[in-house]
């Protein structure tokens, strides 16, 4: 039986990636940088999990003279996190359809609810407060977030950390993801995975997922529940 559900944040609980992109671009502009990430640029940049890692990957493609020192990257990222937080608090996104109900029902079934995300911890907090009106640790029993592991998705470290904190083996848990790198991360940690593709990940390769549904809405649950049974 499934005793815990482990959720990815960006793209799965909420369609946050456009807000991340806007926050990056606003930060670049505020610093007089002529960097601007289009949707097309960002679709490629998202293959690198983690905002700081994404900035470094972007810089690697620039001429050496245009690259910033690491301290500047960290400062830009910290500012981007603040801007993103303000945007979310102002209501930039809501939970994706079905998320709230699924978590409520899982709670009724006495399942634990966990989060395994490559995003920064302040982003988890602001989303929980804005969308649930509660601190994150009152929505999730366990939270594993970006800066707690050295290697981000597709590495399994973040899911292993969440499993460790749950104190459960992977076969008793199910992961919910929206991306190919998230799927790889969860699978490598031994988890069954339900995929709900997001705007940026539609069309990615989801081979190995236990089930793929357009959303977590209730009408998709029979299939999701079947996936839970099938994956073990």
Provide the minimum distance between the beta carbon of 177 and Mg ion in the complex, in angstroms, as a whole number.
Answer: 6
Helix, coil or strand: residue 42: helix
Counting every residue written for the chain, the total comes to 232
For residues 86-100, one letter each, b for 16 or more C-beta atoms within 10 angstroms of the residue's C-beta and e for the rest, the string is ebbeeebbebbebbb
Q: Decide whether 15 or 178 has the Cβ nearer to Mg ion.
A: 178
Provide the minimum distance between the beta carbon of 132 and Mg ion in the complex, in angstroms, as a whole number.
Answer: 18
- Provide the CA 227 distance to its chain's centre, in angstroms: 21
Cα 53 to Cα 152: distance, rounded to the nearest angstrom? 9
**10 flagged as catalytic:** yes
> Which partner, Mg ion, ligand XBP, none, binds residue 204 by CB below 5 to 8 Å per kind?
none
Q: Using CA atoms of 3, 210, 96, 214 in order, give the dihedral in degrees to the nearest 10.
A: -150
Provide the minimum distance between the beta carbon of 66 and Mg ion in the complex, in angstroms, as a whole number.
Answer: 29
Query: Considering only CA atoms, which of 212, 172, 220 is closest in space to residue 193?
Result: 212
Q: Which of 10, 147, 155, 205 is catalytic?
A: 10
Verify binding: residue 204, Mg ion, rule CB under 5 A.
no
Verify binding: residue 193, ligand XBP, rule CB under 6 A.
no
Taking residues 71 to 90 in sequence order and writing x for each that binds ligand XBP by CB under 6 A, - otherwise, the string is: ----------x---------
At 60, list the tokens: 């690697």
Provide the minimum distance between the beta carbon of 12 and Mg ion in the complex, in angstroms, as a whole number.
Answer: 5
Inter-CA distances, 160 with 44, 55, 226, Å: 26, 25, 24
Verify binding: residue 11, ligand XBP, rule CB under 6 A.
yes
**What order of strands is seen across the sheet that includes strand 112-116?**
142-144, 112-116, 4-7, 173-177, 192-195, 211-212
Inter-CA distances, 47 with 108, 123, 154, 178, Å: 36, 19, 9, 12
**205 flagged as catalytic:** no
Whether residue 11 contacts residue 17, with contact meaning beta carbons closer than 8 Å, is answered with yes
Verify binding: residue 11, Mg ion, rule CB under 5 A.
yes
- The residue nearest ligand XBP at its CB is 51
| Footprint of ligand XBP on 85-124 (CB under 6 A) | 117-120, 123
Task: Tell me which of 178, 194, 227, 231 binds Mg ion, using CB under 5 A.
Answer: 178
- Tell me how many residues contact Mg ion (CB under 5 A): 6
Verify binding: residue 10, ligand XBP, rule CB under 6 A.
yes
Catalog residues that contact Mg ion under the rule CB under 5 A. Answer: 8, 10-11, 178-179, 182
Point out which residues bind ligand XBP (CB under 6 A).
8-11, 17, 20, 49-51, 81, 117-120, 123, 146, 153, 182
Annotated active-site positions, please?
8, 10
């Amino acid at each position: 039986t499934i005793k815990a559900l482990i959720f990815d944040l960006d793209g799965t609980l909420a369609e946050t990636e456009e807000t991340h992109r806007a926050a990056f671009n606003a930060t670049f502009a505020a610093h007089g940088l002529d960097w601007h990430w289009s949707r097309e640029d960002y679709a490629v940049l998202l293959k690198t999990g983690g905002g700081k890692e994404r900035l470094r990957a972007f810089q690697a493609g620039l001429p050496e003279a245009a690259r910033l020192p690491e301290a500047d990257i960290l400062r830009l990222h910290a500012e981007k996190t603040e801007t993103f937080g303000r945007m979310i608090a102002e209501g930039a996104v809501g939970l994706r359809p079905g998320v709230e109900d699924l978590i409520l029902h899982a709670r009724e079934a006495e399942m634990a609810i966990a989060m395994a995300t490559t995003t920064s911890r302040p982003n988890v907090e602001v989303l929980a407060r804005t969308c649930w009106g509660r601190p994150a640790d009152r929505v999730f029993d366990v939270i594993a977030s970006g800066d707690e592991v050295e290697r981000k998705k597709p590495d399994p470290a973040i899911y292993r950390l969440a499993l460790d904190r749950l104190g459960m083996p992977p076969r008793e848990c199910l992961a919910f993801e929206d991306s190919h790198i998230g799927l790889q991360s969860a699978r490598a940690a031994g988890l069954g995975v339900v995929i709900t593709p997001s705007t940026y990940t539609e069309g990615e390769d989801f081979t190995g997922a236990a089930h793929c549904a357009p959303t977590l809405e209730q009408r998709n649950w029979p299939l999701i529940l079947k996936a839970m049974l099938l994956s073990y």
